[in-house]
Amino acid sequence: MTKAYPFNRPTLAGSEVEAILDAIERRHISGNGSYTKQCHNWLQNYIRGSKALLTHSCTAALEMSGILAGLEPGDEVIMPSFTFTSTANAFVLRRATPVFVDVREDTLNIDETLIEAAITPKTKAICVVHYAGVAAEMDAIMSIAARHGLFVIEDAAQAMFATYKGRPLGSIGHMSAFSFHETKNIMSGEGGALIVNDPSLRERSEIIWEKGTDRAKFERGEVAKYSWVDVGSSFLPSDIIAAFLLKQLESGAEITRSRLEIWNRYQTAFQHKHNAGVARCPTIPSHCAHNGHIFFLLVSEACERDRVLARARAENVSSIIHYVPLHSAPAGLRFGRLGSTMAVTDSIASRLIRLPLHVQLDEGDQSYIIDVMTRALENAPATV
């Protein structure tokens, strides 16, 4: 049988099963048990003080952020189009309109210089995405938001263990959402967390999390009984998931180190293709520390990409494309509108190739992948 080189393989820390058994033994299997609390403490410590709430997905955390931002029908949320559907869906569920702004050529993150022109009296929030764990330009974005009285929501789904000017991503906006989906660096199968950095949103975040009740206050002994006080939903994961996640978080620094090693090996291996203008490697600004979430190459044209992907596939290497831009997707056309031209988004989305990257990728396997990709890129027309 020929060996396959999958794009991703979920990494286990090793102690997850033991923690899950312990969670079951404790007989608190629903949400907000001891492992959930330990994850909250871990995240709050990591993010340096803010409130953390585990959710069953990053999508759920983004939906909570839409409720917390007080979005009303017709309100607008500025965001990139080069992202996952949840970035927009979470706000469309509140009947808000996603306003798509183009991305930067270098980091593929929202182009902060185009944001201000997209602001209208209906704009309520800016949702940034830290693509591949590389930070959006948060200083500029936070000051635009302050000038216009807008919330900044970080879709930090890919950004665990990445920083911007030394600050952890997820700690800068008013609210942030992490993903612990199996495809992310730190995972619990499905999972996520909402980070609430704005102190004025903290109390309400607990209520929304607990199905619209003040149960958190009740648990702290602040009220004699809990009751229905606001809108909300069931956003908590079971403590079994939290037990799994805690072990992942505790191994996170090590997992990130391994990923960065693999990422750096790719960067070195493809530097000559980059220099020759055949395939561009990622750009990491010097004030950003990334987390090795994605290694991509930007080839010259869409037709070129299809040829390269087919050649890789023929040699069992699962290199894959990434987002189909939201602005031109059927639901994007129906629910969103353009806040700028989409020239960069359309161009990069049609040229991007992601290479296999997971902790179980050993040096031999990676050398094979590099060799296959290098040959697949041969005779490729130079990028402009």
Residues that bind ligand PLP (CB under 6 A): 57-59, 83-84, 86-87, 129, 155, 157-158, 179, 181, 192
89 vs 113, which CB is nearer to ligand PLP?
Answer: 89
64 vs 380, which CB is nearer to ligand PLP?
Answer: 64
11 vs 179, which CB is nearer to ligand PLP?
Answer: 179
In angstroms, the Cα distances linking 67 to 61, 179, 262, 268 are 10, 18, 39, 44
With a CB cutoff of 8 Å and minimum separation 6, the contacts of 10 are 182, 187, 189, 358
58 vs 376, which CB is nearer to ligand PLP?
Answer: 58
3-class DSSP state of 305? helix
Residue 145 has, within 13 A of its CA and on its CB side, a CA count of 24
Helix or strand holding residue 309 (H, E): helix 302-314
Residue whose pair of structure tokens reads 């700690």 in the numeric block: 171
Would you tell me how many other CB atoms lie within 10 Å of the CB of residue 59? 22
CB of 99 to ligand PLP, least distance (A): 17
CB of 62 to ligand PLP, least distance (A): 7
179 vs 350, which CB is nearer to ligand PLP?
Answer: 179
CB of 162 to ligand PLP, least distance (A): 13
CB of 181 to ligand PLP, least distance (A): 4
Q: What is the distance, to the nearest Å, from the Cα of residue 176 to the centroid of all Cα atoms in its chain?
A: 10
CB of 364 to ligand PLP, least distance (A): 29
CB of 9 to ligand PLP, least distance (A): 17
Pick the closest to residue 53 from 200, 188, 157, 208 (CA basis): 208
Q: What is the distance, to the nearest Å, from the Cα of residue 181 to the centroid of all Cα atoms in its chain?
A: 10
84 vs 91, which CB is nearer to ligand PLP?
Answer: 84
